[in-house]
Structure 1
Amino acid sequence: MRKLILTTLVFFFSYTNLFAGEEENPIKILFPKAEFLNDYTARIPFKIIDQLIVVEAEFLNQKGNFIIDTGSETLILNKVHFPKGQRLTKKKTQTTSVTRIIDQPYERKLSEFILQNFNLKNKKSDVIDLSHIEKSKKMHLLGIIGYNILKDYEVFIDLYLNQITLSRVDKHGNKFDTKVYAEEIVDSLDFQLVKHTIVVSGFVNDEKVRFALDTGAEFNQLNKNSNRKILEKFRPMRKLSLVSADGKKIRVLAGKLYGFKLNETSGVGPMYTIVTNLRKMREAYGTSVDGVLGYEFLKYKRTIINYKKEKLYFIKSPIFKP
């Protein structure tokens, strides 16, 4: 049975046809607006479309957009924009991310993936139909850049300047370019990497919580089965109706979450949040969590992700008025 997929506020089913074979030629993705500081560091401007981080790119002779999504396990290509003759291989496992489980994924082996002048060997991409997202967001969507590409970099997501900085790291997470940031790093936080998912610990109403960090989440999510003391800090504002591709509707409660702290001294919020049932998403997370931190968290925190060190760093931010 196909599973219902939650991609931020869009529900959908995925389906593709079966092909077989392997990719032989190097694959290049170009960011025409990127600024390459040196061989190791690039700054790429992005735009916000419905609270999704979107970069312009050229890929396989196509010009369009990619969503930056730490919640996605792999690079995902939009099947509708690539030739029917593309040779694909059926995956033995599901494609998962923080906010979705995708049935019947197909993959393309990329013998050499070149991010401008950054070469990444033996990468794989999932190929599925993303037309539902493309239509709802009214953009030309080539795909989604996920964990298997981002993990080789230290990733600075800056919603103040609307740019993402990618800096290559070694196997220990140390940057090859040591002079990447002009701004001051004011705080840091360890996280747990569960499969591809960034899981951070914090506090709500003095109760310890575990949240997944997902740059592809338009709104924060809070598990409706969380501890009562946690739910006390959620202030409901209205109900939203979400519609799946087959016409089924689901109602969720939307409001603001107050009192979230990364540690005893660093608070965040209030943040717009929806309350939903995350129980069925355990397979995607690889662990149980109390919620998801997305755009609403990142707009407060100029965040650097270092997958190898399993550490977040936070750049000093200007005063933000919600």
Structure 2
Amino acid sequence: MFKIPFKLVAGIMLIPVTANEKEGFFAFDTGAMQTAVNKAHFPEIQGERTDIAKYSEGVKKASAAEGILNTLRFSDVECSNMPVLIMDLMYVENALKAAMPDVKFLGTLGIDVIRNYTVLLDYNATEIILDPEYGFENQVTIPMRYEKLPVIEVEVANRTCDFVLDTGANTCLLGQSLQNDPQLIPASQTQNIVTVPVVRVGENKYENITAVISDISAIQKKVPVEGVIGYQVLSPQRSVLDFKNHQLIMEKTQKR
């Protein structure tokens, strides 16, 4: 069992790490297929270029390089000679600096590492526990597939759809197939921002969820889903991502 404290900034979990002997923070991100480093902080890592999809006001294609990170330490976990993406992540660091002026954003811990553990998320205690030794007294269990990314069923506007479960998503993304659903309430003059009156994950109910309608085709080419969801349904209660047994275990919320 490993305990990892995190700082919650704009719905993003930042864990303290040491990478190639540099100290800073990684985002804990189940929506990232591969661990990535911020190239501004790692000029020593070079590699071959590749194309990827990244989230930023929607999903866009971006270029990156593939390289090797010599060492990564977080809590009592140490990884060595890790394949990583080398990306320009200064847009993330600059956004985080509004809340953490001195933040050094070193990169993103992706599902390639996270899936090796059973993961307990406790937003109230701002703590992640890897391979926890306990469960919850009152819980609901939801099937969770692993198809390059973790996928769960989510009920949105009385439709049950597959969503990526993304700890790096502070706001729900909805694919364009949901764009004209009459139950979605426009949240502002910006046409693509809506309020979802009710979202259900298993027996748990979440009300008035802000969502962004977006072209998620870059994700859909890799994983057949209708949306992406994370912080808004994971933060109200403790949850366990059990990759070994293909399930998401959540404490039951009180709303019905």
TM-score past 0.5 threshold: yes
Alignment partner, residue 217 of structure 2: 279
1:184-233: CA deviation from partner (whole Å, max 9, x where unpaired) = 351111122111x11111323432211111111121112232275xx233
Alignment partner, residue 51 of structure 2: 94
Among 103, 116, 127, the residue aligned to 2:86: 127
Q: Tell whether 2:233 aligns with 1:297.
A: yes
Among 169, 173, 183, the residue aligned to 1:217: 169
SS of structure 2 residue aligned to 1:258: strand
Q: Tell whether 2:8 aligns with 1:45.
A: no
Alignment partner, residue 262 of structure 1: 201
Q: Tell whether 2:77 aligns with 1:118.
A: yes
Q: Is the 8 A contact 2:59 2:216 kept in 1?
A: no
Residue 63 of structure 1 deviates from its aligned partner by 1.9
Residue 280 of structure 1 deviates from its aligned partner by 4.2
Among 172, 192, 197, the residue aligned to 1:253: 192
Q: Is the 8 A contact 2:2 2:75 kept in 1?
A: no
Q: Is the 8 A contact 2:179 2:213 kept in 1?
A: no
1:232-287: CA deviation from partner (whole Å, max 9, x where unpaired) = 332222145xxxxxxxxxxx532321222234x4322221212223234323xx23
Q: Tell whether 2:62 aligns with 1:103.
A: yes
Residue 140 of structure 1 deviates from its aligned partner by 1.7
Among 70, 73, 77, the residue aligned to 2:37: 77
Alignment partner, residue 109 of structure 2: 145
Question: What is the alpha-carbon distance in structure 2 between the residues aligned to residue 299 and residue 113 of structure 1?
Answer: 27
Alignment partner, residue 202 of structure 1: 154
Distance change >3 Å, CA 201–CA 89, structure 1 → 2: same
Alignment partner, residue 18 of structure 2: 58
Distance change >3 Å, CA 255–CA 314, structure 1 → 2: same
Instruction: Give the % identical residues.
Output: 21
Q: Tell whether 2:170 aligns with 1:234.
A: no
Question: What is the alpha-carbon distance in structure 2 between the residues aligned to residue 239 and residue 126 of structure 1?
Answer: 37
Q: Tell whether 2:126 aligns with 1:162.
A: yes
Structure with the greater alpha carbon radius of gyration: 1
1:266-317: CA deviation from partner (whole Å, max 9, x where unpaired) = 322221212223234323xx23322211211212342211223221011356
Residue 122 of structure 1 deviates from its aligned partner by 5.4
- Larger deviation: 150-159 or 54-63? 54-63
Gaps of 5+ in 1: 1-40, 168-176, 241-251
1:161-183: CA deviation from partner (whole Å, max 9, x where unpaired) = 2111112xxxxxxxxx6x345x4
Distance change >3 Å, CA 281–CA 308, structure 1 → 2: same
Question: What is the alpha-carbon distance in structure 2 between the residues aligned to residue 109 and residue 277 of structure 1?
Answer: 31
Question: What is the alpha-carbon distance in structure 2 between the residues aligned to residue 232 and residue 215 of structure 1?
Answer: 28
Q: Is the 8 A contact 1:220 1:297 kept in 2?
A: no
Question: What is the alpha-carbon distance in structure 2 between the residues aligned to residue 56 and residue 124 of structure 1?
Answer: 20
Question: What is the alpha-carbon distance in structure 2 between the residues aligned to residue 187 and residue 281 of structure 1?
Answer: 28
Gaps of 5+ in 2: 98-102
Alignment partner, residue 249 of structure 1: none
Alignment partner, residue 100 of structure 2: none
Q: What is the CA RMSD across the aligned residues, in angstroms?
A: 2.7
Q: Is the 8 A contact 1:202 1:261 kept in 2?
A: yes
